[in-house]
Amino acid sequence: MPVTTAPRQGAGVKVLKGVLGFAGRTWLVAGFLALWEVVTRAVNETYFPPPTTIVKTLHELWFSGSASHLFLTEDAVDDFSTSLAHLFIGWAAAGALGVVIGAAIGRSRTMNDLFDPVLQFLRAVPPPTLVPFFIMVFQLGATMQIVTIAFGVVWPVLLNTADGVRTVDSLQLETARVFGIGPVRRLLTIVLPAAAPKIFAGLRVALSFALILMVISELFGSTAGIGSELIGAQRTFELPRMWAGIVMLGILGFLFNAVFMLLERRLLAWHAGAQRLAS
């Protein structure tokens, strides 16, 4: 009997600690929302609706659909599918391009010396300023929006990858050469795994930037998407609807970061274990 009770007690303590930890992290948010509600109702300012009004508008706009459609409205399906498709396609393209170019530059001093000035110049150009240029080249539409996102978010991945592959232990590479392992296999089995923590850090930063650029790209001539919903609400002075879009973007950003960090911990668990063994 004691053998079966101990694990149950341990699981109960773990759950209790998890609940207390979650409550400790969210009390400030709950307090801020309560204060926002009280102040906005007392001031009664049109430009700052109370949170309850924003949540009600958010529900009516995107989450008042039927249960068969996961409570999503038609507007939600159109806006979310459009925005998230552009975001993830642009982010994935930038991630792949950033890893390839970053690895090449990080492992070759010649390529680094040749391309670094150009890359530093392009990195310094704010992506929103290039939106008019992208509109001229690609016209209004999905391609322009994806290119805007990809151009703006490739830099954290590229620079982190280049920095990560430069810091690979030279002893490992020399040992691989001695055993006759070719350059491609060294890259795939030694260099990129060693640089994986920095690559993932760059991808996480890029995902946050992608959300911002998704909205910016949808402010120009788009008829669907969260950014289009925002600019439409602003033009018609439907302020609760505008705030609902802002809150939705905040929720998406929080969820993206949480899910990415969870995946990062799972995928890089081997790296943390290797570091513990090495220390």
Region 267-279: what's the mean pLDDT? 64
Q: Give the rounded percent of residues in the chain with a pLDDT score beyond 90.
A: 25
Pair 149, 20 in one domain: no
Of the spans 39-48, 164-173, 225-234, 243-252, which averages the highest pLDDT? Answer: 243-252
What per-residue confidence (pLDDT) applies to 1? 47
Tens digits of residue pLDDT in 184-217: 888 888 888 888 899 999 999 999 999 999 999 8
Q: Is 74 part of any domain?
A: yes
Q: Is 168 part of any domain?
A: yes
Does residue 46 carry a pLDDT above 50? yes
What per-residue confidence (pLDDT) applies to 158? 93
Q: Which two tokens stand for residue 12?
A: 């109960």
Residue 254 contacts residue 262 (beta carbons within 8 Å): no
- DSSP notation for 17-29: HHHHHHHHHHHHH
Pair 25, 133 in one domain: no
> How many structural domains compose the chain?
2
Does residue 157 carry a pLDDT above 50? yes
Residue 219 contacts residue 231 (beta carbons within 8 Å): yes
Mean pLDDT of the chain, nearest integer: 83
Whole domain around residue 27: which residue ranges? 11-45
Pair 15, 87 in one domain: no
Tens digits of residue pLDDT in 221-242: 677 888 888 888 888 888 889 9
Pair 25, 94 in one domain: no
Cα separation of 127 and 149, whole Å?
A: 8
Which pLDDT band holds residue 256 (cuts at 50, 70, 90)?
very high
Q: Which two tokens stand for residue 83?
A: 């925005």
Pair 86, 33 in one domain: no
